[in-house]
Amino acid sequence: MLIKLKPIFKIFEWLVFLALLFLFFIVVSPVLPLKFIPKTYVVLTGSMDPTIKPGSVALTVPTIAGQLVAGDIIAFASPDNPDAVILHRIDSIKSTDPLRFATKGDANNAPDDWDVVDVGVLGKYVFAIPYLGIVAAYIAKPVGFVLAIVVPALIFIVSQIIGIKKSIKQEIDKQVSQKTNKSDSIFPVIFFAILVSSLISAKVVKAVYFDTVTVFSLSISIADFDADTTPPVTHIITDSYTQTQTNFDISFTIDDDNPAFVELCHSFSLGAWSCLDVGLTSPFSFTASSGNGVYCFDTIGHDTAGNIETDVLPSPPTIDPLDPSLYCTQLVLPG
């Protein structure tokens, strides 16, 4: 179930990331000194109601003033406050040389008391998202910006770095499992760490033959990639001690960061063990081919570093059905 949910979590994670980017764009785009990018503005008044409701976020795009016509909605600096931006509709074109527009709010009874010249046009209105301006206004405040943008962004970045770090560890574990000398593996570790750090940060990380690389204050140490010597641990979690069909499921768990496969071993009527590689599939459908009797099961875990579970299979015929490391069930076929 956890494996099936991972793609959903990943999609949700990226949706949150895109939402954070969008909110960040809403906050910073109006103050960016770039005329060729779209910009957003929080609408505080009702002068354009019902087209643009108060509390909305309006998106504008760069435009050529000479292509504007009466009826277009434009953004321009307020004559009374150069730091404020007004979104009004072009009521008429008053002159073409120089190009001047008369503007009017949809909810206002008369045109504005000023004219807008071509160089004063900041952009052309495209659409508005109602009520998002309330959120944007909160984010524009220092506390709101930290809580809504900075903290989630840091969490996202750290989670991505941890994921990258785990991927690098898995790669190194594969090399270790192939009996790669640890001293030889230092160079690829450093190479991957430098590559990752250069991709996610504009700041070059100086890490030539050092044992630790720091990326966004998260230290990736060569010690983190030492050979994994911890054997996996498996548990059988099936709890039905009587079976009435020859096919029944055996469920198990494996505790390890890098599991490879599990051997499912069974003994019939306290006889010799027979083991089968079942991968990581749990539950595994077992076929009791020997008929009625007592079937005992045990599992042996293997990981990608070559470690094998240290549990020793009890030697028949001294198997104790009450042994907590075993699972035994009685098959009783009807008839």
Question: Which pLDDT does position 164 carry in this prediction?
Answer: 77
What's the angle, vertex CA 302, arms to CA 165 and CA 4, rounded to 5? 60
Structure tokens at 138: 């909160």
Structure tokens at 112: 């504005």
72 or 324: which leads in pLDDT = 72
Q: How many CB atoms lie within 10 A of CB 276?
A: 11
33 or 198: which leads in pLDDT = 33
Q: Which range is most confident: 120-124, 177-181, 238-242, 301-305?
A: 120-124
What crossing angle do the helices spanning 132-139 and 2-28 adopt, rounded to 10°?
A: 80
206 or 78: which leads in pLDDT = 78
Question: Which pLDDT does position 91 carry in this prediction?
Answer: 94
In the chain, what percentage of residues exceed pLDDT 90? Answer: 15
Q: Tokens 């109006």 label which residue? A: 30
Structure tokens at 110: 């008369």
Q: Which range is most confident: 5-19, 76-90, 136-150, 321-335?
A: 76-90
| Residue 321, CA atoms < 13 Å, CB-side half-sphere | 12
Question: Which pLDDT does position 235 carry in this prediction?
Answer: 87
**pLDDT band at residue 140 using 50, 70 and 90 as cut-offs:** low
181 or 36: which leads in pLDDT = 36
Q: What are the pLDDT digits (tens) for 254-277?
A: 888 888 899 999 988 888 889 999
CA 84 – CA 77 distance, rounded (Å) = 6
Tell me what the mean pLDDT of segment 74-101 comes to: 88
- Are 26 and 82 within 8 A, CB to CB? no
Question: Which pLDDT does position 224 carry in this prediction?
Answer: 38
Q: What are the pLDDT digits (tens) for 100-136?
A: 999 999 999 999 988 999 888 988 998 888 877 666 6
Structure tokens at 58: 């309006």
3-state helix, strand, coil in the chain (%, to 5): 30, 30, 40
- Whether 216 shows a pLDDT value over 60: the answer reads no
**CATH number, span 233-331:** 2.60.40.10
180 or 86: which leads in pLDDT = 86
Structure tokens at 120: 């004063």
CA 53 – CA 131 distance, rounded (Å) = 8
Residue extents of the structural domains in the chain: 2-139, 153-225, 233-331
Question: Which pLDDT does position 34 carry in this prediction?
Answer: 61
- Are 112 and 102 within 8 A, CB to CB? yes
Tell me what the mean pLDDT of segment 182-191 comes to: 42
7 or 333: which leads in pLDDT = 333
CA 213 – CA 193 distance, rounded (Å) = 7
44 or 63: which leads in pLDDT = 63
Q: What are the CA-CA distances from residue 15 to residues 22, 68, 128 (Å)?
A: 10, 36, 21
Q: Which range is most confident: 33-42, 75-84, 158-167, 211-220?
A: 75-84
- Whether 210 shows a pLDDT value over 90: the answer reads no
* CB crowding 149-158: b at 16 or more within 10 Å, else e: beeeeeeebe
Question: Which pLDDT does position 33 carry in this prediction?
Answer: 61
**Mean per-residue pLDDT of the chain:** 75
Question: Which pLDDT does position 72 carry in this prediction?
Answer: 95
Structure tokens at 208: 């030539």
Stretch (H or E) spanning 77: strand 73-77
Q: What are the pLDDT digits (tens) for 217-259?
A: 343 333 333 456 788 888 888 878 888 999 999 999 888 888 8
**CATH number, span 2-139:** 2.10.109.10
326 or 302: which leads in pLDDT = 302
Closest CA to 261 of 298, 308, 302: 302
